[in-house]
Amino acid sequence: MNENPLKVLFLASEATPFAKTGGLADVAGALPKTLKELGHDIRVVMPGYGFIDREKFMIKEFMAELTVPMNGQTEQAAILETTIGQAPVYMVYSPKYFDREGIYMYHDDADRFVFFCRAAMEMLKRIDWAPDILHCNDWHTAIIPNWLHTIYKDDPFFNRTASIYSIHNLAYQGVFGHRVLEIAGVAKYQFMIPPGVSPENQINMMGRGIFFADLVNTVSRTYAEEILTPEYGQGFDWLLRERRDRLYGILNGIDYEVQNPATDPHIYRHYDLNHPELKLENKTALQREAGLAEEPNTPLIGMISRLSDQKGFDLVGQVIEAMMDNLRFQFILLGTGEERYHHLFNSIKDRFPDRSAVYLTFNASLAQKIYAGSDMFLMPSRFEPCGLGQLIAMRYGSVPIVRETGGLKDTVSNYNPATDSGNGFTFKKYDALAMYTAIVRAIETYRYRERWRTLVNRGMSADFSWRNSALKYVDLYRRALNIRADHPVPNEFLNVPG
Ligand code: ADP
């Protein structure tokens, strides 16, 4: 048991296994579990989306009615309750805001997430549980550090609470009109992010999180450095440089209990480090299921990803035909996203039916089959805060081919046959030819069985579990508490007329 346990509320818009669109859900599902195992009193709060299966996850009602101030009035929420591991999970439910098919991209997203955050704060007071740390994640919860300096500033309940703001993806910022400040009850404070971030009449939630949080972190060290530059800063490099003394990078882990080829219920045949050869059965079964030629010796390259430019699909688009024409490999893709990429991959599938398989959908079970059945995992991202795909791939013995950016750079090093070092294949420049060359190197190396086996083993035996990173978060939480006590937010940006 931890001698000095912390009380932490972890706020996220998505968390596995309940609701997921990307890596944030994986983090929210795993980090709190590990922190709990380390002896801290960590609790998660997320929206109780209508599509979440309450029976399956044993979700119970925790609080039938909670009054939530919104937009100068009050509305009602219900709070539901379940667990992730031993960590309690609260879900803020409101039919008006959360009975939707999806998670994001609704016209009232500003209202929905402000409501979620406010309900979370009010719930804490109702249950009389004042956290040491409010751990906010991405723009959906960015209003909270802002509130600690405004509406809750003089509230004794929160006067020892510090805030952490974690940036999982700087590209999604939550940009709204001024009305969001009224909804959130902070309009009268009249402060804005200083001009220059986005058009003057816009409110940027991400900016508020960065500005008001006691500490800010992102999910790898390299990304924490990259976002200080205009190339990666998404308009916020100046503010991040301003806050540099409060900016940290902590690599995400993956849940080694869930992501485990020895126990994964979704894959065809279990295997582990001592029996990596059994991985081949997963490859054969995947080839069969996906309609690919059942060729054990042809390298199978997998991709599982949102289909967006961020993930490097413009590079893939430029050379995929040439790759299929010139190189001997099979390709399997699972992903949804931009329409033009749906067209692109449908046409690849039509042209190369027994060498390519394309699933334009979100399918968590198939994803595991692809991690287990593929030989290589391609992630040529333009930018990548951390990236989980490459970590899961390594755990399943699929060798990553990545661009050296963000968390990809921090976790994958280039294979050097001369020194027999490295755990994957990397390229630097964001360029289709550079990617093509890395893929050629991977396919070439695959022919040397012993070398390939070393690479597979290296990935499978690496430790990207959450424990190390969770300890770093504990350290960050303690720093935030000290900073909160010593340095209130500087005043120079406050009261800029809005
Ligand atoms: P991001 O959060 O930017 O989308 P990450 O690599 O951090 O990227 O996390 C992506 C996560 O979502 C991984 O766990 C990956 O397996 C999963 N994923 C992405 N697309 C799909 C899909 N179409 N079906 C199933 N899982 C997916």
pLDDT tens profile 163-184: 999 999 899 999 999 899 999 9
Nearest CA to ligand 1 atom 4: 22
Residue nearest to atom 24 of ligand 1 (CA): 362
Kindly indicate the confidence band of residue 387, based on its pLDDT and cuts at 50, 70 and 90.
Answer: very high
Q: Are 380 and 403 in contact (CB under 8 A)?
A: yes
| Residue from 359, 348, 403 nearest 377 by CA | 403
Bridge partners of 203, per DSSP, are 176
Alpha helices for 379-427 (secondary structure H):
389-395, 406-411
pLDDT given for residue 192 in this prediction: 57
Under 8 Å between Cβ of 304 and 389: yes
Task: Please give the order of strands across the beta sheet that includes 330-334.
Answer: 356-359, 330-334, 300-304, 376-379, 399-403, 425-427
> How many other C-beta atoms lie within 10 A of the C-beta of residue 365?
10
Q: 308 near 172, Cβ under 8 Å? A: no
Average pLDDT of the residues in 423-448: 98
| pLDDT given for residue 226 in this prediction | 97
| Closest ligand 1 atom to 384 CA | 3
- Is residue 487's pLDDT more than 70? no
From the CA of 305, how far away is ligand 1's center (Å)?
A: 5
pLDDT confidence of 189, banded at 50, 70, 90? confident
CB of 23 closer than 6 angstroms to any ligand 1 atom: yes
DSSP 8-state assignment for residue 168: S
Ligand 1 site, residue 380, Cβ cutoff 6 A: no
Which one is predicted more confidently, 409 or 255? 409
Of the candidates 375, 392, 143, the one whose C-alpha atom is nearest the C-alpha of residue 266 is 392
Site to substitute for ligand 1 among 31, 103, 168, 305, most atoms within 8 A of C-beta: 305
Of 485 and 229, which is predicted with more confidence?
Answer: 229
Q: Determine whether the shortest distance from the Cβ of 318 to ligand 1 is under 6 A.
A: no
Ligand 1 nearest-atom number relative to CA 371: 16
N-to-C CA span, the chain: 49
For the stretch 307-343, pLDDT in tens is 999 999 999 999 999 999 999 999 999 999 999 999 9
Q: What's the mean pLDDT in 204-229?
A: 95
Residue with tokens 């080829």: 261
Q: Which residues contact 313 (CB under 8 A, 6 or more apart)?
A: 305, 307, 337, 338, 341, 344
Average pLDDT value over all residues in the chain: 94
Q: How far is the CA of 11 from the centre of ligand 1 (A)?
A: 20
From the CA of 390, give the closest atom in ligand 1.
6
306 lines ligand 1 (CB under 6 A): yes
**E strand map for 212-352:** 215-218, 247-249, 300-304, 330-334
CA distance 407 to 426: 12
Task: Count Cβ atoms below 10 Å from residue 288 Cβ, excluding itself.
Answer: 13
Name beta bridge partners: 401: 378, 425
Q: How many residues does the chain have?
A: 498
427 has which bridge partners?
Answer: 403
Ligand 1, residues 14, 20, 264, 304: which to mutate, most atoms within 8 A of Cβ? 304
Determine the residue type at 37.
E
Query: What confidence tier does 492 reach under pLDDT thresholds 50, 70, 90?
Result: very low
22 lines ligand 1 (CB under 6 A): yes
What is the number of the ligand 1 atom nearest to the C-alpha of 21? 12
Domains and CATH numbers, the chain: 7-253+468-493 (3.40.50.2000), 276-461 (3.40.50.2000)
Q: Any idea what DSSP says for residue 348?
A: H
Task: State mean pLDDT over 366-377.
Answer: 98
- Could you give the C-alpha distances from 242 to 24, 179, 215, 477, in angstroms and in order? 25, 27, 12, 21
Q: Is the pLDDT of residue 495 over 60?
A: no
Q: How would residue 1 be classed by pLDDT, with cut points 50, 70 and 90? A: low
- Is 302 close to ligand 1, i.e. is its CB under 6 Å away? no
Q: What spacing in Å lies between the alpha carbon of 136 and ligand 1's midpoint?
A: 21
Residue nearest to atom 2 of ligand 1 (CA): 23
Whole-angstrom distance, CA of residue 358 vs CA of residue 348: 9
Mean pLDDT check: name the lowest of 175-179, 217-221, 457-461, 476-480: 175-179
Instruction: State the pLDDT at residue 199.
Output: 63
Give me 430's structure tokens.
């964001």
Q: How many CB atoms lie within 10 A of CB 156?
A: 8
Would you say residue 359 has pLDDT above 50? yes
Q: Is the CB of 26 under 6 A from ligand 1?
A: yes
Helices (H) and strands (E) counted in the chain, each on its own, are: 17, 17
Instruction: Look at residue 31 and tell me whether its pLDDT is greater than 80.
Output: yes
Pocket perturbation via mutation, ligand 1, pick of 27, 138, 306, 390 by most ligand atoms within 8 A of CB: 306
DSSP 39: T
335 lines ligand 1 (CB under 6 A): yes
Ligand 1 center from residue 362 Cα (angstroms) = 9
Give Cα 211 to chain centroid, integer Å.
21
Q: Is 304 in the pocket of ligand 1 (CB under 6 A)?
A: yes
